Structure 1
Amino acid sequence: MFPSDIEFHVAPYISDFVKWITVAWEPFFTAFSNMVLGMLLQIEHILVAIPWWLWIIAVMVIAWRQTHEVVKTIMPGLLLFTVGIFGFWGIAMETLGIVIVSVIISLLLGIPLGIAMAVSDRCNTMVTPILDAMQTMPSFVYLIPALMLFGLGKVPGVVATVIYALPPVVRLTNLGIRQVPSSVQEAALAFGATSWQLMKEVRIPLAMPSILAGINQTTMMALAMVVIASMIGAGGMGEVVLICTNRIDVGGGFEAGWAIVVLAIVIDRLTQGLARRWDTPGV
């Protein structure tokens, strides 16, 4: 046994710090919570207001423009149709709303951070261990600070989802920009491009396939975390899965899980298709 007299615990200090920041920064957290909740409710209202058949048609049109294949066009529409058949259309739109808000916030934070890491080696050195910790930390741990700072509800679910889903877009934005061939950058500089023009006109466009792959991975991780976030009142399909798990309702759990899988498949296929449209032949 490890001797107890030399044990040292940081848990009390962390708890005290969180309690202090909750009180000291209460106006900020309240304003942020109201902003996120307002945006979430607006997006959910729009998603639910759109007729289900129009959603299916829109997804099939996008799939057709990306693939021009009949099977790959019809399948996403049929999969979404099964979500409605199981009676989960409204709840699925609620889940989609949480994912959209989480991804928007993740991109607003992640893409600029990835660009900063690509430009500055010092920033890259400082942020990389933080990203490593964020990706190795058990996902349930993110629920604790979100719950303590924002209480129960959709907002802490969004916050926990953002923390969990942020690293991929940061890493792949950084990686994509760093992999832009130096010969192309040197040619742009030789023609008189400034650092801003080089980033805007050369590095980011050429890194766009990698950035879009990061967006795809962030979206998938956000959808996965939304299910876990239901434990702190985020709602959506995750809540249905949680209830079915507690009741050992295998059939209901299968239907709810199927709806989540359908959302994941459709979102993944559409975002991957968008990334392929940005692919460029060898530079």
Structure 2
Amino acid sequence: MNLPRIPIGDAVDSAIDWITANLGWLLDFISDLLRFLVDGLADVLLAPIELVMIAIFTLLALVVRSWNFAIFSLIAMLLVASMEMWEPAMETLSLVLVATVIALVIAIPVGILAARNTAVSTVVKPILDFMQTMPGFVYLVPVVIFFGIGVAAGVCATIVFAMAPGVRLTELGIRQVDKETVEAGEAFGGTPGQILRGIQLPLGLPTIMAGVNQVIMLALSMAVIAGLVGAGGLGNEVVQAISRVDVAQGFEAGLAVVILAIFLDRLTGAIGQPTEKSLGAMVKRRRADNAAKAQSAVSAGVAS
């Protein structure tokens, strides 16, 4: 069956050539900025001695979550340091954090706009489907053409690859807020901005934080793949292990990635979720309200 060939690939190639020829100054600026952010954050994470940073991570785990998670974080981070994977782990962490922040700065406003405008949601959904179904390795081709081999290419590929869940779950979190609650805010004269800040975002926070969690996990997975384009960190360790068929190095780098993933997953998963104290306070308030209602009913009955 002879069908006419549609030169989609040629059109994309021409578009990339035009961008590199006419927007080279912008690509250079973005590359320098991303390299500065990642390298600067990596220097901050590597400035203290390893034990100091391990203590900070352990304290953070204790404050955000629990003693059990703090003990796990302490043992896991000591293991990473003992495997001599601390420096590449911090480089990967800096890349993931920079890419995640940039992805969320783009994804959350787009998700809010999609939740409040059906036309925007209709346009955004197929784009997100395309982004999520495209294999991760495909993203490496255009970013290498735009930014060359290095950190900037890895960060850009990570941002695009990890952004979609942030948009989807932000939209879902705002859309699932009870309409009656929103209508009550409008009845009291709340502006759209006040309703968004005071009602929709706080009530949708658990779902939005689930999106943040997914963005971080996808960013971490892509950061390892980005080692193929010279992004450094644990991805570089994995690439070296594959090229040398070094099982020991590959296993240790993979284990360090798993430890980082668990740490970031549990840490972000605890943010936005109700704690035991908040649940206890909620129960006490409800009991007090019920007691007040019962007392009012009894008083009304006696008066009659």
Please give the range of the TM-score, normalised by the shorter of the 2 chains: over 0.9
Asked if 1:167 is matched to 2:181, the reply is no
Letter of the 1:83 counterpart: V
2:18 and 2:256 map into 1 onto residues whose CA distance is: 41
Name which of 66, 70, 75 aligns with 2:72: 75
Name which of 97, 100, 109 aligns with 2:97: 100
Alpha-carbon deviations, 1:133-164, whole Å to 9, x = none?
A: 00000110101111111111100100000000
Alpha-carbon deviations, 1:256-283, whole Å to 9, x = none?
A: 111111111111111111132489889x
1:237 and 1:247 map into 2 onto residues whose CA distance is: 15
2:105 and 2:65 map into 1 onto residues whose CA distance is: 29
Letter of the 2:238 counterpart: V
Name which of 123, 130, 137 aligns with 2:127: 130
Letter of the 1:20 counterpart: W
1:110 and 1:161 map into 2 onto residues whose CA distance is: 13
Could you tell me which residue of structure 2 aligns to residue 179 of structure 1?
Answer: 176
Query: Secondary structure at 1:6's aligned position in 2?
Result: coil
Letter of the 1:41 counterpart: D
Name which of 130, 142, 146 aligns with 2:143: 146
- Give the superposition deviation at 1:6: 3.0
- Give the superposition deviation at 1:114: 0.6
Could you tell me which residue of structure 1 aligns to residue 299 of structure 2?
Answer: none
- Give the superposition deviation at 1:117: 0.5
Name which of 51, 54, 59 aligns with 1:53: 51
Could you tell me which residue of structure 1 aligns to residue 83 of structure 2?
Answer: 86
Could you tell me which residue of structure 2 aligns to residue 220 of structure 1?
Answer: 217
Could you tell me which residue of structure 1 aligns to residue 267 of structure 2?
Answer: 270
Letter of the 1:195 counterpart: P
Query: Secondary structure at 2:149's aligned position in 1?
Result: coil
- Give the superposition deviation at 1:58: 2.2
Residue correspondence of structure 1 range 181-220 to structure 2 within 5 A: 181-220=178-217
1:149 and 1:67 map into 2 onto residues whose CA distance is: 41
1:118 and 1:12 map into 2 onto residues whose CA distance is: 36
Could you tell me which residue of structure 1 aligns to residue 25 of structure 2?
Answer: 27
Q: Which moved more, 1:272-281 or 1:189-198?
A: 272-281
Higher-Rg structure is 2
2:167 and 2:6 map into 1 onto residues whose CA distance is: 34
1:103 and 1:133 map into 2 onto residues whose CA distance is: 20
CA RMSD of aligned residues (A): 1.7
- Give the superposition deviation at 1:51: 2.6
Could you tell me which residue of structure 2 aligns to residue 113 of structure 1?
Answer: 110
* TM-score normalised according to structure 1 size: 0.94
Query: Secondary structure at 2:272's aligned position in 1?
Result: helix
Letter of the 1:148 counterpart: I
Query: May I ask how many residue pairs the two structures share in their alignment?
Result: 279
Kept in 1: contact 2:65–2:267 (CA 8 A): no
Structure 2, unpaired ranges of 5+: 284-304
- Give the superposition deviation at 1:14: 1.2
1:8 and 1:111 map into 2 onto residues whose CA distance is: 36
Alpha-carbon deviations, 1:60-116, whole Å to 9, x = none?
A: 2232234444x3320111011100000011111111110011001101111111111
Letter of the 1:117 counterpart: A
* TM-score normalised according to structure 2 size: 0.88
